[in-house]
Amino acid sequence: MTAPQARLAVDIGGTFTDIVLERGPGDFISGKYLTTHGEPERAVLEGTRDLLEKGGVAPGDIGLVVHGTTLATNALIERKGAKIAMITTRGFRDSLEMAYEHRFEVSDLYMQRPAPLVPRWLRLEVDERMAADGSVLRPFDPESLRALIPVLRAEGVEAVAICFLHSYMNGAHESAAGALLAAEMPELRITLSHEICPEIREYERGSTACANAYVQPVMESYLRRLKTGIAGLGIPGEIMLMMSSGGLCSLDVACAQPIKLVESGPAGGAVLAAHLAAEMSIDAAIAFDMGGTTAKLVLIDHATPQQSRNLEVARAYRFLRGSGMPLRVPVIDLVEIGAGGGSLGQIDGLGCVAVGPESAGSEPGPAAYGLGGTRPAVTDADLILGKIDPEGFAGGKIALDALLAAQALDIHVGTPAGMDVRTAAIAMVEVVDENMANAARVHATDNGAQLEGRTMIAFGGAAPMHAARIAQKLSIDRIVIPKGAGVGSAHGFLLAPVSYEAVRTRLIPLAALTTEDMGAILSDMRAEAERIVRLGVPAPAPLSESIAVYMRYRGQGHEIMVTLDALPAADALHSMLTALFDAEYRRHFGRTIPGMEIECLTWKLALSGPRPAPTGAALAPEATPAPGPRKRQALVDLASMTDGDAGVYTRTGLLPGMRIPGPAIITESETNTMVPAGFSASIDARGHIVIDREAAVAAKGEAA
Amino acid sequence: MSDQGHLIQLQVIWSRLIAAVEEQARSLIRAGFSTSTREAGDVSAGVFNTRGEMIAQAVTGTPGHINSMARSVKHFLAEYPAATMREGDVYITNDPWKATGHLSDLSVVTPIFRAGRFVGLFACTTHVVDIGGNGPSPESRDVYGEGLFIPIMKVVDRGEMNESLLKMVRANVKEPVQVEGDIFALVACNDVGGQRLMKIMDEYGLEEIDTIGDEIFERSRKAMLDEIAKLPRGTWSNTMTIDGYEAPIELCAAVTVDETGVHIDMEGTSAASRFGINCPMCYTEAYASFGVKCLVAPHLPNNAATMACITVTAPEDCIANASFPRPVVARSTIGMFLPDLVFGCFEQALTDRVPAESTGTLWNIRLGMASEGGRKGFMVTTFHSGGAGARPALDGLSATPFPSGIRNVPVEVTESITPLVIWRKEFLKDSGGPGRQRGGLGQVMEIGNREEAPLTLYARYERVVNPARGRQGGQSGAPGRLTLGSGAKLKAKGLQVIPAGETVIIEMPGGGGYGRPEDRNAEAVAMDLRQGFISPEAAAEAYGKPGTGA
C-alpha cells in the first residue's frame, strides 16, 4: 500500500471558504463555500465532504490538509478574543496604551487611537527588573505575582501575556512568573513575550504578546475541533497551518503561537506567485492581487517573496501606517491599497475624481449589479470602457446592467466634473490604476528596489483587468495571469514549506563581533527552530537554513537586513559582513558612509523543510494558430484615451502556443483579462497567459 | 486632447508629483541619522515651479517645516537667480530666517533641467544630530553661539561636492560623519525626486511644469477659499500666557476671516527673550498656519496656493518674529503653542469644533553624563509628551503631543544605549483637565543612573506655571513638575545636576477639558475611576459624582 497521495488546501476568508483538492501532481479541483462564522469548521467539513465526493477521492487518500484562516485577524479586528490580562514590570502597565505617544494623522484634530486589548485594570504589575544587558536590577518577587491571582480569578481571565522589560535579553523572570501561574492556575493560557517575540522595543513586543494571548483560546478551541472533525471524516492526514510568513507549522505550534497565523490568506497568494516565478525562471517579479475592496503588492526576487517582521492589524485608519496594532512576527511584506473592483468614485473638494478606499463590497456591489448600488464602482467604469464582457461576468452568474453603471457614473462623477460618461469612466480607472502604481513606486523606494524590468504576476478577481495598464505606468513589459487564479491563496498553501523563524536581539558593534558570539546566537536559534520544524518534517529529511542580520550605522534607527548562508570563517567575518552591509546600504541609499561604525542589532535564523520542486523549464510550446474572436467589442485604450476594437476570447478555448494581439479581452468564469493595444497575449506550456509589450519583444529580438 | 481628457491628465500628473515627493521624503527618512528624523519623520520634501512656488509637498511628521521650507526656495532664487543655476548645482543653507527656524535644520535645493532648460526645483529639509555651538541649549545670547551658520551657498557645483564646505562642517560638529551623511542624504533625495519628474515629463511629453503647476494652484486656491467661505466673517482675539524663560510671555493673536482668506496678526505679543526660545517669522508662520489648516481644511494639500490663503504678521523683533541675530535654537517653545493660540480665536467663531489647549511644547528628556576616568560619558534626547486637549466630542489624547507629530523613543532603546534606568513611565492620575470631555492625561517618568555618577538635566519645560486651559467650561489640565526622587524641587528651565544615586521625577502636564465637568456622563466618570485615570476625590470634587469605591 502506498502513502495517501491527495492533498487538501483550505482558506477561510471573510465571505468564502475556498477548498482546493489536489488529486495528484497538477490535478486540481476546487470549490467555494460560504464561510460559517459561528463555527468556521462547519463550512470546512461540509465543503471537504462535498469536494471529495465531486472529485471521487476517498477520505483515506488525503495525506495532508493545509489550512489558512482569517479567524485570528477577525478576532482582533472585531474584538472577539478572550478575556486576558497583561502582567508587566512595575511602572510600565501603560506602555500598551501609550503606544508610540504620537498622532499618526498629524492634521486630524479628532484622531482616535484603537483601544488597547487589555483595559488598564487588567494590566497588572509585579516587582522585578532586568537591565538592558540582561543583568538583574531587581529580583523577581513571586509574592507580588501571587497577590494578583485573586484578581485573575475574580475577573475570569482566560489567558495572560507576561511582558517584562528587557526580557528579550534575559527571559528568566518571565519564565519564573509563567511557571508560578501555570502551577497555581493550570487552566490559564500563558504567553511569554520573550518566547513569542524576543525583540527589543517594549510596546511592539507587549502588543504582540497580548494579541497572541487574546486570540489563543479562540484559535486553540477551533483548531482542536477542526482536528476532530477532519479525523471524523476519515481523513488520516495531518493538519498543517499556513503562517503569515508563507511557511507552514504544525497544529500544536499554531495552538501555542496563533498570532503567527494572521494574514495567511495573502501569504498563500504570494507563495503561489513565487512558485510561478521559480517555474518560469523569473528573477524579479511583483505580485499584484486585486479583489473587491483592496489591492495587494509583493516584491518577489529570486522566487522569494520579500519578508519583514512588521505587521499591523486592526488599524484605526485602514490604510494608514502606524494607526493599528503592531505585531512583530515573520510576515510577507505586502503593501495594501484601498483599491478594488468595488471601490467607489466621487468628486472631491478640489474638483478632482477620487476613488476609494470606500467600497461597495459585494452588497450592494457596483451599480451594474442592479442590487441597489447607486454610486459608481471601479467595476462600473471597467464595464463602460469595454474591459468586461457583460454577458459572461462571474461565469454568467451576475448579469451586468451597463445603463445603471452609466447612470451612476454620470450622477456622481461625470456631471459634477463636466465630463461625459465615457470620460468619467476613464478618469475613475486612470485614478485607481495610478493609485496602485504610486503605491508600488513608494513601496519600491522604501525597499531600495527597482520596478522596471520586473514581471507582474496578477491574480484575484479584478487584477487581470487592471494589470496591463498599471504595468504600462510602471514600465513593466511582461505580465503573467496564472491559470486558475481565482483561488490563488489556497493553491499557494499547497506549495508552502514547513518553516520556522527564530529571532534574537543582541546589540553588538561589528568591530567587536566574534565568530564565537555569532555562532552561539545562531546555534541557540537553530535549536529553537529545529525543535519546532521537526514536528512537521521528521528527521532525516533535509532542512534548509537561512540567516539574516539586521545591521545599521551606529546612531541610525532603522536596520537593514543582510542575508547569508552560513556562519563566516573567523578571518572573513568582519570583511564579509561589512561587504554585505555596504552592498545592501548602497542598494537602498546609493552610497555608503566610510568610517562610520556598523552595529548588528537583530539576528534571525529560519529553517524550512523541502518545498515542492518547480516542474522545471517547460519547453516553449509550438506556435499554434489562435481561433478567431468569439465576438468583437469596443474597448477604450487608456494610454491614448481613444476607442479601439477588441476581440473577445474565451480562455478555455485557448491552448498553449496560441498568440492573440491586443486589443483583446480574454474571459473566464472568475475574471477578464484585458490586453491593450501594443501588447499581445500568448498561452504558455502550462496554460498561463503571458502578456508582452510588443515594442519590448521586438527590441529583444533585435538584440538577439 | 479633449478638455475632458485634460482633467484626467492633470490629475494623474498631480498624483504622480505627490508620489514623487513622497518617495523623496521616504528616502531621506530612511537614510537620516537624527532621532527626530527617523522617529517622527522630521523632514520635509517638495517640488517647486521655476518661480520657487511649491507645487506639491510630502506628508511628513512635523508641521514646523510645512510653510517654512516652502518659502525658503524663494530665498535661494533671490540669492542665485535661475539664470545663474547650472545643471548639477545643488544649494544648501541652515539660515534660521531664510529656511526653517534654527541652525540644526539643513535645507537643500536642487534645480532641475530638461534638455538644458530650467524647469523647476526640488527642496528638502532634515534635522541634523548636531551643528556645533552650544547644541540644543537655549543659553546662547545670540545665534553665533548656537553653531555653524551656513549661508545660502552651493553644496554641489556642477556635480562636484563642495569639499571646502564639507571640511568646515566636519570641523564644527561633534558627529561629523553623521552630519556629512545627512548632507549626502539630502542631496540624494532631491535626485530621487528629479528622476521621477523626468519620467513623468517623458511619459506625458511635457517640456515644462509651470503650466500644470498653475492649474494645480488654481484648483487648490478655489478649494481653500471654498472652505474658508464656510467660516463666519469677523475678527477674534486671544491671549495666552506661557511660563517663559526669564519672565512670563504673552502670546497674542487676532484672527480675521474675510473673502481673501484667514489673517493672523500677533500684535501685543511679548518682546524677544534673551534666551534661545525666540521664533523666527518663518517658523511662526508654519505653526500658526498649521493651526488654521487643520481646523479649516485638513484634507487639502499643502502647496503655494493653499498656503497663500493664510497670512501671518507679527511686530518686528517680538518673540514670534525674532530678528537676526537673536538666539533661536529652541524656537519650538513658542511655535508649538501657536495652534492653541489660534484655536482660542476660532473658538469664539465656531461651535463645537475647537479642541481645548494641549501641553504644546514637547517634554523631551535631555540627560547627559560627563566622561571621567575610564567611564564614557553620554548625552541623549528622548521624545515624550504630556496630554492633549479634550475635543468637543472626544476626550483628549493622553501622553500625546499636539501639534507635533513626533513618536517616542522606546524605554528599552534608551536604556540599551545609555546607563539610564527608567523606573516608571505611567499615566499621571487626575492630570487631565476635568470637563464634559476630559483632557488627555499627562505622564510621569522616574529616571536614575546605573553608574555611580551625577547626571546633567537640560530642562526647558513649559506649562509648569501656566497649565493648558479648558474651553466651554472645561477646566485646566494639571501643570507639570520636576523633582528629585528624594523630594527636592527642580526648576523647569536650565541646566541642573541630579546627584549620583538620585532619580529625577518628571511629571508632564495634562490637556485642558472641554465643557462643564458636571455635564460629564456618569458612565464616563465611572469608567475613568475604574481605569484609575481619576481618583475618587476628583470624581467627587471636580465632577460632583461620588466615587463608586472601585
Total domains in the fold of chain B? 2
Q: For residues A691 and A481, what is the distance between their CA atoms, to the nearest angstrom?
A: 8
Q: Which of A92, A94, A131 sits opposite B421 (nearest CB)?
A: A131
pLDDT for residue A646 is more than 60:
yes
Contact yes or no for B16 and A434 at CB 8 A: yes
What the block records as the C-alpha cell of A448 is 531600495
CATH number for the domain that contains residue A98: 3.40.1360
Per-residue pLDDT of A334-383, as tens digits, reads 888 889 999 999 999 888 999 988 888 767 889 999 989 999 999 999 99
Interior angle at CA A10, CA A4 and CA A14, nearest 5: 175
What the block records as the C-alpha cell of A584 is 545592501
Residues of B in contact with A416 (CB under 8 A): none
Confirm if A199 and A328 have CB atoms less than 8 A apart.
yes
Q: Chain B residue closest to A113 (CA)?
A: B397
Q: For residues A116 and B220, what is the distance between their CA atoms, to the nearest angstrom?
A: 39
Q: How far is B26 from chain A (nearest CA, A)?
A: 7
Confirm if A633 and A386 have CB atoms less than 8 A apart.
yes
Contact yes or no for A419 and B4 at CB 8 A: yes
The reported pLDDT for the residue numbered B35 is 67
**B134 occurs within a structural domain:** yes
**Amino acid present at A410:** D
Contact yes or no for B412 and A423 at CB 8 A: no
Domain boundary among B198, B221, B244: B221
Does A556 lie in the same domain as A488? no
Q: For residues A564 and A552, what is the distance between their CA atoms, to the nearest angstrom?
A: 16
Confirm if B327 and B278 have CB atoms less than 8 A apart.
yes
- pLDDT band for position A434 (50/70/90)? very high
Residues whose CB falls within 8 Å of the CB of residue B139, separated by 6 or more in sequence, listed in order: B145, B275, B276, B494, B495
Does A167 lie in the same domain as A314? no
Evaluate the CA torsion angle B289, B290, B294, B298 in order and state its sign. positive
Mutation target for A interface from B11, B126, B406, B422: give the one with most A CBs within 10 A: B11
Residue B110 φ then ψ, to 5°: -125, 115
Q: What is the mean pLDDT of chain A?
A: 90
Q: For residues A30 and A9, what is the distance between their CA atoms, to the nearest angstrom?
A: 9
Q: For residues B204 and B222, what is the distance between their CA atoms, to the nearest angstrom?
A: 26
* Cell numbers 490663503: residue: B309
Q: Which residues are registered as beta bridge partners of B246?
A: none
3-state secondary structure of A373: coil
* Cell numbers 460560504: residue: A34
Contact yes or no for B35 and A349 at CB 8 A: no
Q: How far is A132 from chain B (nearest CA, A)?
A: 5
Residue B520 φ then ψ, to 5°: -70, 135
The reported pLDDT for the residue numbered A630 is 92
The reported pLDDT for the residue numbered A390 is 83
**B123 occurs within a structural domain:** yes
Residue A13 φ then ψ, to 5°: -110, 180
Q: Which of A446, A555, A595 sits opposite B33 (nearest CB)?
A: A555
A31: number of CA atoms within 13 Å, CB side?
A: 18
pLDDT for residue A323 is more than 90:
no
- Give the mean model confidence (pLDDT) for residues B258-264: 97
What the block records as the C-alpha cell of A179 is 511557571
In this structure, the strands spanning A689-693 and B43-48 are unpaired
Q: Chain A residue closest to B62 (CA)?
A: A106
**B319 occurs within a structural domain:** no
**Amino acid present at A398:** I
**A197 occurs within a structural domain:** yes
Q: Chain B residue closest to A428 (CA)?
A: B8
Say what percent of chain B tops pLDDT 70: 98
Q: Which of A91, A121, A430 sits opposite B531 (nearest CB)?
A: A121
Does A503 lie in the same domain as A491? no
Domain boundary among A566, A582, A608: A608
The reported pLDDT for the residue numbered A1 is 40
The reported pLDDT for the residue numbered A149 is 98
The reported pLDDT for the residue numbered A4 is 67
Domain boundary among B189, B221, B253: B221
Per-residue pLDDT of B100-155, as tens digits, reads 999 999 999 999 999 999 999 999 999 888 899 988 889 899 999 999 999 999 99
- pLDDT band for position A12 (50/70/90)? confident
> In terms of pLDDT, which residue wins out, A29 or A406?
A406
Domain boundary among A220, A254, A272: A220
Interior angle at CA A78, CA A76 and CA A82, nearest 5: 60
Confirm if A550 and A533 have CB atoms less than 8 A apart.
no
ipTM entry: 0.93
Contact yes or no for A98 and B394 at CB 8 A: no
The reported pLDDT for the residue numbered B550 is 41
* H/E segment holding residue A549: strand A544-553
Q: How far is A169 from chain B (nearest CA, A)?
A: 11
Q: For residues B503 and B494, what is the distance between their CA atoms, to the nearest angstrom?
A: 17
For helices A421-446 and A378-385, the axis angle rounded to 10 degrees is 120
Per-residue pLDDT of A446-505, as tens digits, reads 888 889 999 999 988 889 999 999 999 999 999 999 987 666 678 888 888 888 989 998
In this structure, the strands spanning A478-481 and A689-693 are antiparallel
Q: What is the count of residue pairs from A and B with beta carbons less than 8 Å apart?
A: 215
Per-residue pLDDT of B436-472, as tens digits, reads 999 999 999 999 999 999 999 999 999 999 999 999 9
Per-residue pLDDT of A570-598, as tens digits, reads 999 999 999 999 998 888 776 777 778 89
Q: For residues A285 and A298, what is the distance between their CA atoms, to the nearest angstrom?
A: 8
**A175 occurs within a structural domain:** yes
Q: Which residues are registered as beta bridge partners of A624?
A: A658
- C-alpha torsion angle, residues A77, A82, A83, A87 (rounded to 10): -90
CA A63 remoteness from chain centre: 26
**A39 occurs within a structural domain:** no
Q: For residues B11 and B1, what is the distance between their CA atoms, to the nearest angstrom?
A: 14
Q: Which residues are registered as beta bridge partners of A336?
A: A296
3-state SS, one letter per residue, for B294-363: HHHCCCCCCCHHHHHCEEEECCCCECCCCCCCCCCCCCHHHHCCHHHHHHHHHCCCCCCCCCCCCCCCCC
pLDDT for residue A617 is more than 70:
no
* H/E segment holding residue A596: none
The reported pLDDT for the residue numbered A359 is 87
- Give the mean model confidence (pLDDT) for residues A114-134: 96
Contact yes or no for A431 and B12 at CB 8 A: yes
Domain boundary among B191, B221, B251: B221
The reported pLDDT for the residue numbered A668 is 87
Does A311 lie in the same domain as A289? yes
Q: How many CB atoms lie within 10 A of CB B340?
A: 28
Q: For residues A142 and A182, what is the distance between their CA atoms, to the nearest angstrom?
A: 13
pLDDT for residue A95 is more than 70:
yes
Does A384 lie in the same domain as A459? yes
**B283 occurs within a structural domain:** no
* H/E segment holding residue A336: strand A334-337
Residues of B in contact with A438 (CB under 8 A): 15-16, 18-19, 22
**A634 occurs within a structural domain:** no
Contact yes or no for A446 and B26 at CB 8 A: yes
Q: For residues A418 and A353, what is the distance between their CA atoms, to the nearest angstrom?
A: 11
Residues of A in contact with B59 (CB under 8 A): 106
Contact yes or no for B413 and A95 at CB 8 A: no
Per-residue pLDDT of B354-413, as tens digits, reads 999 999 999 999 999 998 888 888 888 888 999 999 999 999 999 999 998 888 889 998
Most confident of A87-91, A612-616, B43-47: A87-91
For helices B3-31 and A421-446, the axis angle rounded to 10 degrees is 10
DSSP labels, A155-171: HT--EEEEE-TTTTT--
Q: Chain A residue closest to B182 (CA)?
A: A593
Does A435 lie in the same domain as A506? no
Confirm if A332 and A267 have CB atoms less than 8 A apart.
yes
Q: How far is A487 from chain B (nearest CA, A)?
A: 32
Q: Which of A90, A350, A555 sits opposite B219 (nearest CB)?
A: A350
Residue A699 φ then ψ, to 5°: -60, -40
Q: Which of B26, B385, B416 sits opposite A507 (nearest CB)?
A: B416
Does A503 lie in the same domain as A411? no
The reported pLDDT for the residue numbered A664 is 96
> In terms of pLDDT, which residue wins out, A689 or A617?
A689
Confirm if B442 and B407 have CB atoms less than 8 A apart.
no
Residues of A in contact with B40 (CB under 8 A): 102
Q: How far is A478 from chain B (nearest CA, A)?
A: 19
> How far lies A98's CA from each of A102, A168, A201, A325, B403, in Å?
9, 21, 13, 12, 17
**A613 occurs within a structural domain:** no
* H/E segment holding residue A295: strand A295-301
Residues whose CB falls within 8 Å of the CB of residue A111, separated by 6 or more in sequence, listed in order: A103, A104, A105, A316, B397
**B29 occurs within a structural domain:** yes
Confirm if B124 and B93 have CB atoms less than 8 A apart.
no
Say what percent of chain A tops pLDDT 70: 96
The reported pLDDT for the residue numbered A616 is 61
The reported pLDDT for the residue numbered B151 is 98
Total domains in the fold of chain A? 3
Residues of B in contact with A589 (CB under 8 A): 27, 30-31, 185, 188
* Cell numbers 505580465: residue: A479
**B507 occurs within a structural domain:** yes
Residues whose CB falls within 8 Å of the CB of residue A37, separated by 6 or more in sequence, listed in order: none
Residues of B in contact with A555 (CB under 8 A): 33, 129, 175, 178
DSSP labels, A684-696: -TTS-EEEEEHHH
The reported pLDDT for the residue numbered A35 is 83
Does A476 lie in the same domain as A505? no
Domain that holds residue B508: 355-519
Residues of A in contact with B290 (CB under 8 A): 107
B173: number of CA atoms within 13 Å, CB side?
A: 25
Radius of gyration, CA atoms only, chain B: 24
Confirm if B270 and B250 have CB atoms less than 8 A apart.
yes
Domain that holds residue A178: 77-220
What the block records as the C-alpha cell of A420 is 461625459
Does A573 lie in the same domain as A458? no
- C-alpha torsion angle, residues B94, B95, B98, B102 (rounded to 10): 80
Nearest to B512, CA basis, from B449, B435, B453, B422: B435
Largest Cα–Cα distance of chain A, in whole Å? 82
**Amino acid present at A579:** A
Mutation target for B interface from A86, A92, A94: give the one with most B CBs within 10 A: A94
Domain boundary among A480, A496, A512: A496
**B414 occurs within a structural domain:** yes
Q: Which of B22, B219, B416 sits opposite A200 (nearest CB)?
A: B416
Confirm if A311 and A332 have CB atoms less than 8 A apart.
no
What the block records as the C-alpha cell of A183 is 502551577
pLDDT for residue A77 is more than 60:
yes
The reported pLDDT for the residue numbered A3 is 58
Contact yes or no for B4 and A420 at CB 8 A: yes
- Give the mean model confidence (pLDDT) for residues B264-274: 98
Evaluate the CA torsion angle A346, A349, A353, A355 in order and state its sign. negative
Residues whose CB falls within 8 Å of the CB of residue B273, separated by 6 or more in sequence, listed in order: B244, B245, B246, B249, B319
Q: For residues B536 and B541, what is the distance between their CA atoms, to the nearest angstrom?
A: 9
Confirm if B361 and B402 have CB atoms less than 8 A apart.
no
Residues whose CB falls within 8 Å of the CB of residue B42, separated by 6 or more in sequence, listed in order: B34, B36, B60, B61, B62, B65, B126, B127, B406
Per-residue pLDDT of A132-149, as tens digits, reads 999 999 999 999 999 999
CATH number for the domain that contains residue A377: 3.30.420.40
Does A544 lie in the same domain as A443? no
pLDDT for residue B70 is more than 70:
yes
**A509 occurs within a structural domain:** yes
Least confident of A291-300, A564-573, A618-627: A618-627
- pLDDT band for position B261 (50/70/90)? very high
